[in-house]
């Protein structure tokens, strides 16, 4: 059945737990194929079957949102409202009134009617919204949540005559919620700032001048102008002008890049100095910035294993603790000579402590932060599941050309035979190759260091797949591979060298060879060392190059295992063999994302290097390094490990403190005052801890 994907902008949604409930409820609706609520960006992506009334489903979704979090809805104007902090400001006067009533009640004589009324009024001011949510959820069959726990605990405290403690639970619960909301909003804003690369306009050139238009209205081939300080709105090629371009929003690279006529520039970068005239090469929906935004917006939909477990755990956990609290209130008085009120109070403390807010809020926030921190460093992670899996990687498999090497050849050695000087050999080769466009020819010319004189060459013939034949200084020069030499019966007695060799013969006599190799990326060696220092010692090289070249590159980089002369399908077969030996440990493949799409897709985690402009990289990779810097691999692993470490710190903190206080509550050693700390205080600490992944500068700390 065909479906249509709808994107809705949300407003008024400030609760992570509520967002999870909304997503789960909508996903179960008839006619909904899938639903993903992106809390960070306030977006809701819903796939609706084409045979359903999309408008009707949208209205039902609005109702669900309003029921779960009053004030949350779909903003039909498409752009999110800038309501950060408004809800907090609106609540302040109300809560000040409640606080004054609470203080007055404490000052008033104990057990007086006025004191009781003041406590009830303060309780209602602070807990009115909680009571309303709990009542609505009960009517709709959603009983076991934090609102229900707070309602039962405080109503029970009032029934037992503990007015001060009942009111204080709601007071401190709401204060804690306000701080949590602030912390979550702060984290949300931090992540949004990291991804605030969307261009607002483009200056399109017309016959009468330039006009500002939406980037979505510009087509490939159009010309646009970008002035200093403006964000480049679309991918393009520089036609006129030169400038420095800040690519840090895309790549994390702080050093500006100089561009001039003929250079490619990416949307989302910032023009720093000169005026640039660009020819647009991609439409907005296919541009770099659009793809980045789409990737990051959908990343949270792929939840980590830990996150999925906690979601399921919280759903089962709450009804279990309610049942345990009921047993704690009822069973001990039946078998011991103790009053019911004593155990009922302990059960209420037990309920307040057991609220799973700390887990439900802080864990997804930790993964949000990890994805955002990676984006800030120019690393796009397509989901929390990949971020979590990367933390346990012990094996990395690498492609060679374009990944570890630049793909640009340079001369590594010149071996001349007796009777020919090195520079003479280079002169014949450079002259013969001077009209060739082959990369190897350009490398020879670069090594020769001067422009050959055309007057000294009489003829030039390209021999496809073999080399060239030319007359230089009146002599017949052959320049090419072994097959060219064999065609002319020229004996080449040299052994096979690592890399690529060009053989030269003059008037039928073998003159020598020029060895060339693909140059390593400048940070390749240091990046591999960093990975080894991080415990990733099992490194493998897969390449289509000859054995000698592959082993030479692997030796220089300290890569332990090498598989050479592989076709693309061979790489997949070799990778599958490696994965079978890892006993459940994830295996990473790092490629350039263009000719390695199949093996990138097959790996547990596929990483594309420098492939942000490549369709293959975007579609096949799980993680995209937005420039060619191999050192970002270490950053990605460090971010993933730190994220996982913080997530597990929060799990241990929340469960450990709650277990301690639940034990104390059962033994009568904890009051509702301590219960508030065990609930709200721990949740706040967990949220603040989760925010560290965004705030920190050194991910390896």
Residues forming the active site: 399
Q: Which residues pair with 457 in a beta bridge?
A: 472
Backbone angles phi, psi at 593, to 5 degrees: 80, 0
Geometric angle at alpha carbon 452, from 450 and 455, rounded to 5°: 150
Phi, then psi, of 533 in degrees rounded to 5: -60, -25
Q: Check if the beta carbon of residue 319 is closer than 8 Å to that of residue 144.
A: yes
Buried-state track 339-352, b at ≥16 Cβ within 10 A, e below 16: eeeebbbbbbbbbb
Instruction: In whole angstroms, give the CA distance from residue 243 to residue 273.
Output: 5
First to last CA, the chain: 50
**CA separation for the pair 609, 524 (Å, rounded):** 12
Instruction: Report the alpha-carbon distance of residue 26 to residue 33 in Å, rounded.
Output: 10
Angle between helices 524-533 and 547-557 (to 10 degrees): 60
Euclidean distance between CA atoms 484 and 371, whole angstroms: 53
| 490/418 Cα distance (integer angstroms) | 16
The DSSP code for 231 is B
Nearest by Cα to 350 from 126, 680, 670, 656: 670
Question: Of 125, 127, 174, 171, which is closest to residue 152 (Cα–Cα)?
Answer: 127
Query: What 3-state DSSP class applies to 434?
Result: coil
Backbone angles phi, psi at 563, to 5 degrees: -125, 120
Instruction: Judge whether 199 and 215 are in contact, CB under 8 Å.
Output: yes
């Amino acid at each position: 059945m065909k479906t249509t994907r709808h994107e809705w902008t949300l407003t008024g949604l400030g609760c992570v737990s509520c967002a999870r409930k909304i997503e789960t409820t909508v996903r179960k609706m008839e006619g909904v194929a899938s639903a993903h609520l992106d809390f960070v960006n306030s977006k809701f992506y819903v796939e609706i079957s084409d045979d359903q009334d999309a408008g009707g489903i949208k209205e039902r979704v609005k109702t669900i949102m309003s029921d779960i979090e009053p004030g949350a809805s779909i903003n039909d104007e498409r752009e999110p409202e800038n309501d950060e902090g408004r809800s907090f400001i609106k609540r302040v006067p109300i809560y000040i009134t409640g606080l004054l009533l609470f203080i007055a009640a404490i000052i008033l004589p104990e057990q007086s009617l006025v004191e009781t009324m003041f406590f009830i009024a303060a309780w209602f001011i602070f807990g009115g919204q909680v009571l309303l949510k709990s009542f609505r959820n009960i009517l709709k069959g959603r009983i076991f949540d934090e609102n229900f726990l707070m309602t039962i605990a405080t109503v029970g405290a009032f029934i037992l005559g503990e007015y001060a403690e009942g009111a204080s639970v709601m007071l401190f619960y709401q204060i804690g919620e306000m701080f949590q909301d602030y912390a979550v909003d702060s984290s949300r804003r931090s992540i949004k700032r990291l991804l605030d690369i969307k261009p607002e306009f483009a200056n399109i050139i017309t016959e009468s001048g330039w006009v500002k238009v939406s980037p979505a209205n510009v087509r490939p081939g159009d010309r646009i102008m970008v002035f200093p300080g403006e964000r480049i709105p679309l991918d393009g090629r520089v036609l006129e002008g030169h400038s420095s371009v800040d690519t840090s929003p895309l790549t994390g690279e702080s050093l500006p890049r100089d561009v001039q006529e003929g250079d490619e520039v990416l949307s989302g970068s910032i023009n720093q100095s000169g005026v640039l005239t660009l020819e647009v090469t991609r439409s907005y929906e296919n541009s770099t910035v659009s793809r980045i935004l789409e990737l990051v917006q959908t990343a949270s939909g792929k939840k980590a294993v830990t996150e999925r477990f906690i979601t399921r755990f919280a759903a089962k956990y709450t009804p279990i603790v309610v049942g345990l609290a009921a047993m704690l209130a009822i069973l001990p008085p039946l078998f011991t000579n103790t009053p019911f009120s004593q155990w009922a109070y302990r059960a209420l403390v037990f309920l307040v402590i057991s609220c799973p807010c700390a887990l439900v809020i802080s864990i997804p926030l930790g993964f949000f932060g990890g994805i955002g921190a990676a984006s800030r460093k120019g690393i796009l992670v397509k989901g929390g599941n990949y971020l979590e899996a990367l933390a346990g990687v012990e094996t990395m498999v690498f492609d060679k050309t374009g990944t570890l090497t630049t793909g640009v050849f340079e001369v590594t050695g010149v071996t001349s035979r007796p009777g020919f000087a090195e520079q003479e050999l280079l002169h014949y080769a450079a002259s013969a190759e001077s009209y060739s466009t082959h990369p190897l020819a350009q490398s020879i010319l670069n090594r020769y260091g001067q422009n050959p004189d055309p007057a000294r060459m009489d003829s030039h013939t390209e021999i496809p797949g073999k080399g060239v034949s030319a007359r230089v200084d009146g002599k017949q020069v052959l320049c090419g591979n072994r097959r060219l030499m064999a065609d002319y019966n020229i004996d080449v007695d040299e052994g096979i060298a690592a890399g690529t060799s060009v053989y030269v013969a003059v008037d039928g006599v073998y003159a020598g060879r020029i060895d060339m190799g693909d140059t390593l990326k400048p940070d390749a060696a240091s990046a591999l060392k960093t990975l080894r220092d991080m415990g990733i010692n099992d490194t493998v090289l897969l390449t289509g190059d000859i054995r000698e070249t592959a082993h030479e590159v692997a030796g220089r980089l300290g890569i332990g295992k090498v598989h050479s002369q592989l076709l693309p399908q061979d790489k997949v077969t070799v990778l599958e063999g490696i994965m079978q030996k890892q006993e459940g440990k994830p295996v990473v493949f790092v490629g350039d994302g263009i000719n390695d799409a199949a093996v990138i897709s097959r790996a547990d985690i596929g990483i594309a290097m420098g492939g942000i402009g490549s369709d293959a990289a975007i579609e096949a990779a799980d993680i995209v390094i937005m420039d060619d810097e191999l050192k970002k691999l270490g950053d990605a692993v460090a971010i993933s490990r730190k994220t996982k470490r913080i997530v597990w710190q929060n799990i241990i903190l929340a469960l450990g403190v709650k277990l301690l206080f639940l034990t104390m509550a059962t033994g009568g050693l904890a009051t509702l005052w301590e219960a508030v700390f065990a609930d709200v205080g721990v949740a706040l600490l967990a949220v603040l801890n989760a925010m560290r992944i965004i705030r920190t500068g050194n991910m390896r700390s």
